[in-house]
A and B are shown apart, each in its own frame.
Chain A
Amino acid sequence: MTPRLPPYSLPRYEYRKPPELAGSVPGEYPVAIAGAGLAGLTAALELGSRGIRTVLLDEDDTVGASGLSSRGICYAKRSLEIFDRFGIAERVRGKGVTWNDGEVYRGTERMYRFNLQAENDQKFPAFVNLQQFYVEEYLVARLQQTPAVDLRWKSKVVDVADGVVLKVETPDGAYDLRCRYLLACDGAHSAVRERIGMRDEQSELLESVWCIADVRMAGATDVVRRSYLDNPLNEGGAIWYHQMADGVWRTDWLITHYPDRDAEATPERAAARLRKLLGADAQFELIWVGPYRFRKRYLERMRAGPVFFLGDAAAQHSPFGARGGNRAIQDANNLGWKLALVLQGKAHADLLETYHEERHPAARECVEHATRSAVFIGPESAGQRLVRDAILDLAQRHAWARAWVNTGRLSVACVYGQSPLNIERGRFLFTTARPGAAAPDGRFGSGYLVEALGSDFKVAYFGERAEPDALLIRKGDPLWARYGVPDEGATYVFRPDGHVLARCTGIDGAFARGAMQRVLDYRVQA
């Protein structure tokens, strides 16, 4: 069989001559965003939905990257909660494949199965798998209904002066665009990052080489994610295997151990390996095939004056744990409300520094987790292999050892535990909902708590009475226990991004108002 590529066609968006080249002088934009990937599109929605005039620039005129590669495919519960505020989460869920279960194999022997979502009263599942270009298409569709955002295709940022004057190349020539703040969402090869000369805190190319093969299979309906370690069908290399939309499966093959890695990343070799995995008679169609290696890298600082770095422009790591796209979405979620408050004159500009203070540890955490998973899956040294194999020996026979098996610590919301915005008073039963954590979800009224939180500050009282506009959760409600509330009740304050800002025991409106005011008045300590 000669592999046939590709059956997809991506949407093309219309390029329009920018006003700067059409004779008008639009002046300074409050925010410009370079790059319309997951980070840029989400950031534009965070800002545009709050009425902040934003220009979003992308060098291409379509969604996706690297052609038709599925790229980021796993959208975590937290990302779905963020998307829900823009009305696209159900579209993602409807098109994608929901999964909570995974299986881990050693060779061809199944070691164990896991379920990621122990509680079933959440609005969203642990993960929905969907090709990244679909998600981006939905975000673009939503942006097209957001008047505050000017989305410009075929507009490449090629230079930055003083962080706020961009040189933008278009089919009609280049022009200068002035902005008050710039969000660099222009990916792993960020031109903004290069032009500004940002320094990495860490940067290293890992040895492992992988081949992605996206494949459509007839009749395959299983939604369990399978991770094969040391699979003989891949000459002892790992294989990853999970379903996306349209009956397409993403398969990842470790090919470091093959003598000719370039040859292994061709459609012909990918098809041959798939036939070994699926059986000689299996009917399948290759959608996309390509090699990849990954770099572990993150910036020393995620902000340079008026310029903020998000997504791959700020950090890169292996895909294990599905942290890349989800981290990018959370970067945008973190910065959007702060920037809006500052531009609206409601908060001091120092609040923006907390973007670095909160998201830099998140980037480092993602890099460390993802790198450790990559090492476990494809050990690069004798020591790593020895320890990894010992763990697998034990995990095959003892359930307790499974916690040591690291086939990807899957993306969950980062806890901003060290954030200077956090306030806590009194003793709570659990730390799950501590300040800095993303609000744990649960049933609330006829819907869910994450819906009730909205996009602004929100106060919730765990007790018998609430002030107007606050949420009331009574004793006996499952949320009472989930939030670790003691008998005397509690006051929780949520940030506009859905993270817990502050909590105290007892009902205390003054505490809640003080916590919110402290955010607006926030000053960096000298």
Chain B
Amino acid sequence: MTQAEMDRLFDQLAALVDATPAPERERMLMRLVVGLAEALGDYERICEIIRKTRK
């Protein structure tokens, strides 16, 4: 993915959040995560990303 594509994704992700009422944002984001995990389709890599994402 190019940096220009990353920047465009930033726009789309921010717009998705802004278009979702605050109380529903957490569930919306989890739906997005599950959708991306399905698209990635690699259990080990998804687990690795989960580990990296933890604080």
Main SS of chain B's interface residues? helix
Contact status B53-A387, CB under 8 Å:
no
B44 within 8 A of A: no
Contacts of A383-409 to chain B: CB distance below 8 A: 383-384, 386-388, 391, 393-394, 397-398, 403-404, 406, 409
* Closest A residue to B20 using CB positions: A383
Asked if A376 lies at the interface with its beta carbon under 8 angstroms from chain B, I say yes
How many angstroms from the CA of A388 to the CA of B53 in the assembled complex?
Answer: 15
**B17 on interface, CB distance cutoff 8 Å:** yes
Q: A372-B11, A403-B3 are in contact. Are A394 and B18 (CB under 8 A)?
A: no
Tell me whether A409 and B7 are in contact (CB under 8 A): yes
Residues on B with C-beta less than 8 A from A375 are 10-11, 14
Q: Find residues 5-21 in chain B having any chain A CB closer than 8 Å to their own CB.
A: 6-8, 10-11, 13-19
Complex-state Cα separation, A58 to B4, whole angstroms: 37
0/1 per residue, B13-31, Cβ < 8 Å to A?
1111111001001000000
Q: A394-B52, A394-B53, A398-B52 are in contact. Are A387 and B14 (CB under 8 A)?
A: yes
Known: A372-B11, A394-B53, A398-B52. A383 touches B6 (CB 8 A): no
B3 close to A383 (CB less than 8 A): no
Q: CB-CB < 8 A to B11: which residues of A?
A: 372, 375
The A357-399 residues at the B interface (CB cut-off 8 A) are: 369, 372, 375-376, 379, 381-384, 386-388, 391, 393-394, 397-398
Give the CA-CA distance A382 to B3 in the complex, in Å. 22
Residues of B within 8 Å of A409, CB to CB, are 3-4, 7
A384, A387, A388, A398, most chain B CB atoms within 10 A: A387
Residues of B within 8 A of A382 (CB): 17-18, 22
Are B13 and A387 in contact, CB atoms less than 8 angstroms apart? yes
Q: Residues of B within 8 Å of A, CB-based: how many?
A: 19
Query: Interface code A337-372, partner B: CB below 8 Å = 1, 0 otherwise?
Result: 000000000000000000000000000000001001
B7 touches A383 (CB 8 A): no
Question: Which chain A residue shows the least CB distance to B52?
Answer: A398
B7 touches A406 (CB 8 A): yes
CB-defined contacts of A381 to chain B, threshold 8 Å: 14, 17-18
Give chain B residues whose Cβ lies under 8 Å from the Cβ of A383: 13-19
A397 CA to B52 CA, complexed, in Å:
9
B6 touches A404 (CB 8 A): yes
B55: chain A residues at CB < 8 Å are 393
**Separation in Å of the B5 CB from the closest CB of chain A?**
10
B10 pairs with A372, CB closer than 8 A:
yes
Shortest distance between the CB of A225 and any CB in chain B (Å): 18
Contact flags A272-302 to B (C-beta < 8 A → 1, else 0): 0000000000000000000000000000000
Q: Give A397 to B3 CA distance when docked, in angstroms.
A: 19
Task: Report the tally of A-B residue pairs with Cβ distances under 8 A.
Answer: 54
From A376, A386, A394, A406, B17 is in contact (CB under 8 Å) with A386
Q: In angstroms, how far is the closest chain A Cβ from the Cβ of B31?
A: 15
Measured CA separation A524–B13 after assembly (Å):
40
A370 smallest CB distance to B (angstroms): 11
Q: Distance (Å) between the CB of B20 and the closest chain A CB?
A: 8
The distance in angstroms between the C-alpha atoms of A435 and B16, with both chains bound, is 37
Query: Smallest Cβ distance from A432 to chain B, in angstroms?
Result: 14
Residue of A383, A397, A409 ringed by the most chain B CB atoms within 10 A: A383
Q: How far is the CB of A180 from chain B (nearest CB, A)?
A: 39
CB distance from B9 to the nearest CB of A (A): 9
Using CB atoms, name the residue of chain B closest to A373.
Answer: B7
Q: For residue B3, which residues in chain A have a CB less than 8 angstroms away from its CB?
A: 403, 406, 409
Complexed CA–CA distance, A375 and B14 (Å): 10
Among A372, A388, A394, the one with the most B-chain Cβ atoms within 10 Å of its Cβ is A372
Which B residue sits closest to A409, measured CB to CB? B3
Bound state CA distance, A272 and B52, in angstroms?
Answer: 40
| Cα of A215 to Cα of B14 in the assembled complex, Å | 36
Q: Which residues of B contact A376 (CB under 8 A)?
A: 7, 10
Looking at the assembled complex, report how far the CB atom of A346 sits from the nearest CB atom of chain B, in whole angstroms.
37
Name B6's contact: one of A384, A386, A398, A403 (CB within 8 Å): A403
Produce 1/0 per residue, B33-48, CB < 8 A to A.
0000000000000000
Closest beta carbon of chain A to B6's beta carbon, Å: 5
| Contact A369 B18, beta carbon cutoff 8 Å | no
Chain A residues with Cβ below 8 Å from B19 are 383
Alpha-carbon distance between A358 and B11 when the two chains are bound, in angstroms: 25
Please name the residue on chain A nearest to B54 by beta carbon: A397
Q: Chain B's nearest CB lies how many Å from the CB of A373?
A: 8
* Chain A residues positioned under 8 Å from B52 (CB to CB): 394, 397-398
B14 engages A384 (CB within 8 Å) = yes
In A136-169, the 8 Å CB interface with B consists of none
Report the bound CA distance from A404 to B3 in whole Å. 7
Bound Cα distance A393, B10 (Å): 15
User: 6 nearest interchain CB pairs?
Assistant: A383-B17, A383-B18, A383-B14, A384-B14, A372-B7, A387-B13
The contact sample of 17 A-B pairs, CB cut-off 8 A, is A369-B7, A372-B7, A372-B11, A375-B11, A379-B14, A383-B15, A384-B14, A384-B18, A386-B14, A386-B17, A387-B13, A391-B10, A394-B53, A398-B52, A403-B3, A406-B6, A406-B10
State the B residues within 8 Å of A (CB): 3-4, 6-8, 10-11, 13-19, 22, 25, 52-53, 55
Additional A-B contact list (4), CB under 8 Å, known A383-B13, A386-B17, A387-B10: A381-B18, A382-B17, A388-B10, A394-B52
